[in-house]
Amino acid sequence: MNQALVMGCLRNQKALIAMIITQFIYAGMSVLSKAAISSGMKPSIFVSYRQAIATLSLAPFAFFFQRKSAPPLTFYMLFKIFTVSSCGMSLSLNLYYGALNYASATFATALTNTIPAMVFILALCLRIERLGISEYHGMAKVFGTVLAFSGSMALTFYKGPALYSGSKKDHIIIISRSYTQEEWIKGSILLLAANLTWSMWLIMQGPLIKQYPAKLRLTTLQCGFCCITSTIYGAAVERNLSSWKLGWDVHLLSIAYSGILVTGITFTLQVWVVEKKGPVYTAIFSPLALIVTAIFSALFLDETLHWGSILGGALLVAGLYSFLWGKSRETTQIGNQQTLLLPSKPQVPLECIITSESPHHVDK
């Protein structure tokens, strides 16, 4: 009976379990990526191999599952997908992994929580998002945005005393290196630039998905183009062939992990959870990856945890939740208004009307 009760609880909490697994996978990616970059792997080479494995992992599913439903791929659409991938995904990933030379894995993970605020500001500038400052949900979004950027500034310019200093013994991976203030600021600038370009990429996904709704094929194509552009860039800046060789070490492990687990499993899990619970539910779990990354980094990378990181991370998480709460309330209000405006015999399904009001809902 107890076993049946446990199994029943697990079935009812599938979305919760899926998101927890997803955040642990993301935390593992942050730690392994930091280990690979810090041990000498060039960021452009890392991105090239990662996206190559991601493309190979997704391609069979994209071909078989969307063979009949995918719209025809014209040269114009292919060029548009290539442009979006190059300007968004390729640039963002190369900036992010380049920043890992100057910042810790925990710091990099913390700053990714500024992405919702950046998307919000860009959407305001492009007039695909409304502010509604006179309403409580609008004030919550503004307050959350201010908190998020305050947290990012605290992370950048204030380290504070050490909260935890790891011992070098019994670590699986040891990367003991302190960063100067100049390196810390340089890493922050690169990370914020990476987040900004990723936010722009997210914004561009809305109209792109409308024109080419085969999401799995679209993701596969963008990963493939990202691999091509990163390889060209990597070959231009790193002409030593020995740098491209892979051995049975942390380089190969991090690439395989990021390409298969992160792109393959987390993509599938997040799409499923978004369909079941909505995009806000998936975003709520983002701070869990920050906590797990901080623990893993202290245990396996010998990273020192500072009070400044705690303060900045707390502000970022508070800002994220304030923004998500405001966005959730706004979406609910729009849905209620659309329900009241519907005729007695609606010709369009309600979910289509609500979705058309929120073109910015694109999951990372």
Structure tokens at 235: 């070959």
pLDDT at 319 over 80: yes
Contact 235, 92 (CB under 8 A): no
Q: Please provide the average confidence, as pLDDT, over all residues in the chain.
A: 80
Tokens encoding 103: 């910042």
- pLDDT above 70 covers a percentage of the chain that reads 83
In which band, very low, low, confident or very high, does the pLDDT at 340 lie, cut at 50, 70 and 90? low
pLDDT of 352? 28
For the cut 50, the answer to whether the pLDDT of residue 93 exceeds it is: yes
Identify whether the C-beta of residue 276 lies closer than 8 Å to the C-beta of residue 115: no
The C-alpha angle 39, 306, 301, rounded to 5 degrees, equals: 25
What pLDDT, on a 0 to 100 scale, did the predictor assign at position 232? 94
In tens, the pLDDT along 287-309 reads 888 888 888 887 888 777 777 77
Stronger pLDDT, 359 or 37, i.e. the higher one: 37
More confident residue, 42 or 306: 42
Residue among 271, 298, 230 nearest 48 (CA): 230
- pTM: predicted TM-score of the whole model, two decimal places: 0.79
Q: Indicate the domain borders of the chain.
A: 17-356
User: Could you report how far apart the first and last alpha carbons of the chain are, in Å?
Assistant: 40
pLDDT score for 164: 65
What's the confidence (pLDDT) of residue 179?
74
pLDDT (tens digit per residue) in 136-182: 878 888 888 888 888 878 877 777 777 766 555 555 555 556 777 78
**Rounded to an integer, what distance in angstroms lies between the CA atom of residue 147 and that of residue 144?**
5
Task: Please give the pLDDT value at position 305.
Answer: 75
Q: List C-alpha distances in Å: 136 to 84, 133, 208, 244.
A: 35, 7, 32, 53
Task: Please tell me the predicted confidence (pLDDT) of residue 348.
Answer: 31
pLDDT at 230: 94
List the single range of 6-15, 165-174, 200-209, 305-314 with lowest mean pLDDT: 165-174
